[in-house]
Each structure stands twice: as structure tokens, then as C-alpha cells.
Amino acid sequence: MTRDWKQFFPFLISPFLLLVVWWWVAAAGWYSDDVLVSPGAVVATLEELTANGELALHLKASFFRLLTGFGLGALTGVLFGIWMAISPRVEAFALPLFQGLRQVPTIALIPILILLLGVDEIFKVIIVTKAAFLTVALAAYDATKGVSKNYFEVARIYHLPKTTLYRKLIIPAITPPVFTGLRIAFSRSWTILVAAELLAADSGIGQMMQLGREMFRLDVVMVGVVITGLVGFSIDKLFKWAEIRLIPWQAAVKA
């Protein structure tokens, strides 16, 4: 335990130094408030936004969109990815269109979606769904394609029922790479949601930052930056933690 701490400690030096320099430069008063605010002011704004419930409101709006969109996109993505990998017919029909769509960055679709759907809730959910769907579908497709042909042959020789084929062979084989795909898809979904909220929203953490930008409230923007960073970081850690719990054999391989 103490040894861990000793190894870890040096890595805290530079963040601490950075904080001190930030605080010191802000205290020296060389820059105006809309260019540089002190760490203390950021914390004070964070407390204020927490106390008046504004932050909770924005986070709730963002999380609702994120979870709905990601849930829809990830679920359909996994199913579609596996389907496309298993059925040669679906692959022949759908893969070219799929590969073509993949070339367009999700963010470039925002203007078209706004024109089609308006700036309402549905637009933000759909853009997140799209981001999650493509990433997850591709991961599931690649993973299923990567399952050795020999396994399928053995399964055919033994006349394995379809359900057993899925439960005993395909699902265990593709779970680790699909999980990685889910993790990447979640962080992409979060990024695209924040961007969509910056562009067009009446609530959400992105909109909070956008308002801060328009009112030259650097402290509000900084709180938003810290919060989006923390959310992204926590989600990533959560997925890694879940990966170890859910897929113990993969963790064993890595260790």
C-alpha cells in the first residue's frame, strides 16, 4: 500500500504546480475576469450552480439524452453488427451503404438533422443514437467476423441448435471486443452530445457552457469544462471496471 503511494506520489507534482501557478497568476491580477479566473472563483461558481440546482438540471437533461440515445444505438448496433457478419446476404446488401455512411463524421450531420428535425429533444437523441450505432455495429461486425471459421464448422458437424451456437460460441467470443466498442462509442456519444448542445439546445451541460461563452462568464465555462471532463473520465472508468467484472476471462488474459 505505502509502496503504491510512493510510486504514485511524483505524478501529483506537476498538477499541483500547475494549480499553484494558476492561482498565483490569477491573484496577481494581470488579466481581466473574462480571460482568467482564479481556481477559487471556479469552485465558488461550482458551489453556486450546485446550490441553486442549475447544474443538476443541466446534467439531468444531458444524461437523459445520452442514455436514451446510447441505449438505442448500442442495442440496435450490436444486433445489426452480428446479423451483418453472420448472413452473407445482409452483408452484401448493407455493408457498402454502411461503409459509405461511416466516412461522414457524425458532427457533419448536425446541420442536416437540425433542418429535418428541428432543435428539439429528438434531434439530440438521434445524433447520439447514430454515433453509438455505427461504432458499436462495426465492433460487433468485426468481432463476429473474427470468430474462427473452424468453430462454426464444428458446430455444423455436431448439428448444434442455433440458440446453443449463439449462447456458447458467438456471444462469449465477441463479448470482449464488443465491450471495447461500447466504451469507445460511449465517449464518442458524449463528445457529440456536448457539441450538439453547444450548437442548439435549451438545456444541458453544453448549453450551460454556450451561455457562459455568450455572457463572458469564464467561471461558468470552466465549471462546464471540468464537469464534462469528469463525466467522460468516470464513464470510461466505469466501463473498464465493468469489463473486469463481466468478462473475468479477459482480465485474466490481460494480467
Where does this chain bind another protein (CB under 8 A)?
Answer: 10-15, 18, 34-35, 89, 92-97, 100, 103-105, 107-112, 114-116, 187, 190-191, 194-195, 198-199, 206, 209-210, 212-213, 216, 218, 221-222, 224-226, 228-230, 232-233, 236
For another protein, give the closer residue by CB, 97 or 157: 97
User: Least distance from C-beta 53 to another protein, angstroms?
Assistant: 22
User: Least distance from C-beta 228 to another protein, angstroms?
Assistant: 4
User: Least distance from C-beta 69 to another protein, angstroms?
Assistant: 15
| One-letter amino acid for residue 13 of the chain | I
Between CA 8 and CA 11, with CA 9 as vertex, the angle to 5 degrees is 75
For another protein, give the closer residue by CB, 170 or 199: 199
User: Least distance from C-beta 115 to another protein, angstroms?
Assistant: 6
For another protein, give the closer residue by CB, 14 or 150: 14
Helix axes of 39-51 and 13-28: crossing angle, nearest 10 degrees: 90
User: Least distance from C-beta 230 to another protein, angstroms?
Assistant: 7
For another protein, give the closer residue by CB, 19 or 79: 19
